[in-house]
Amino acid sequence: MMRRRSLLAGLALPAAAVAQELPPRPMRIVVPFTTGGTTDILARILSEHAQAEFGQPLIVESRPGAGGVTGSAQVAAAAPDGTTLLVGTPGTIATAPALVPNLPYDPMRDLAPVMLIANVPNIAVVNPASGINSIQELIERARARPGSINFGSAGIGATTHLAGELFRMMTGTEMTHVPYRGSVPALTDLQAGQIQLMFENMPGAIELVRAGRLRGLGVTSPRRAQAAPDIPTIAEAGVPGYEVVSWFAVFAPGATPQPVIQRLNAGFRRIMARPEVRRRMIEMGAEPADDTPEALGALARSELERWTRVIREARITVQ
């Protein structure tokens, strides 16, 4: 009961009171991947409204490298005063511990959950010139010509990678994974025909699908996406039980005091409650979210357990 009252009190505080818990200097939010991808897009949406909520700007910094490990490690080692934040993903929080030897941070200890901002389905996309028009045709092609389909991803352990591995395992097909340093270069190669397939986050691919530059075969969520209602789920298109949902959330350095975490959470929840923010996220294929730090922590732990099992079963390793 006391925790609930504390949270409600924090949500009731005006923006000026939120800013009092933070040093009077610009905040920064680190995107651990290349610019232009889903993580970057979501960070910039938050940044546009941060001044009004925190009384100071929120600068987006791209720190790509090692599948998101480089930027995440920088935030884990930053001063725990609430001015350095991270947009965390399943790849940086839930899969890196099982994949990266000597990982320079422990996401459960060195990063403090602040707030979930969006759940995002992935979408299986191909080059229209491939001649593949459906999930069933993709499966048939992969079975008829084992190893002939290369699927790209944002990096080893990203959901764009694990979605492909789970698809391969559940369909009994052989496909070759090609990791990139972010989704943008992978999407560029997909459009050029250098790779044949991606399971890209919806916001990164939906405009390319709408423009006819890529063909959407199926979404990885259990329900069809609001942004693409005509595209079936992969489960209904022939792979029952298939489900992968990416999530994006704000994290702070692990030693950040709880009062600061609660103030950050309150400010970001007000940003996420804005109709224009929610509308923009839905249009790009994301499902807006907001929750308590405790709920995000529980999600992170459950995802760590889930993807560790998949990684071990698929024998995925960092080359």
Which pLDDT does position 8 carry in this prediction?
44
pLDDT less than 50: residues of the chain: 1-20
- Do 7 and 111 lie in a common domain? yes
What is the CATH classification number for the domain harbouring 140? 3.40.190.10
Residues 113 and 256 both lie in one domain: yes
Q: In this structure, are 149 and 251 located in the same domain?
A: no
On whether residue 241 sits in a domain, the answer given is: no
Dig out the tokens for 165 from the structure. 């591995």
Q: How far apart are alpha carbons 35 and 31 in whole angstroms? A: 8
Q: Are 177 and 191 members of one domain? A: yes
Residue type for position 313: E
User: Residue 154: beta bridge partners?
Assistant: none
Dist. CA 230–CA 158, nearest whole Å? 26
pLDDT of residue 142: 97
Indicate whether 36 and 129 sit together in one domain: no
At 90, list the tokens.
């399943």
Q: Quick one: pLDDT at residue 38?
A: 86
pLDDT at 319: 63
Q: Which domain holds residue 102?
A: 2-119+246-314
266 class by beta-carbon count within 10 Å (0-12 exposed, 13-18 middle, 19+ buried) = buried
Same domain, 201 and 154: yes
Q: Say whether both 107 and 134 belong to one domain.
A: no
Does residue 240 lie within any of the structural domains? no
Residues 112 and 133 in one domain: no
Domain count of the chain? 2
Query: pTM for this structure?
Result: 0.80
Residue 227 lies inside a defined structural domain of this protein: no
**Residue 148 falls within a domain, yes or no?**
yes
Do 94 and 7 lie in a common domain?
Answer: yes
Q: Per residue in 146-199, pLDDT tens?
A: 999 999 998 888 889 999 999 999 999 999 999 998 888 999 999 999 999 999
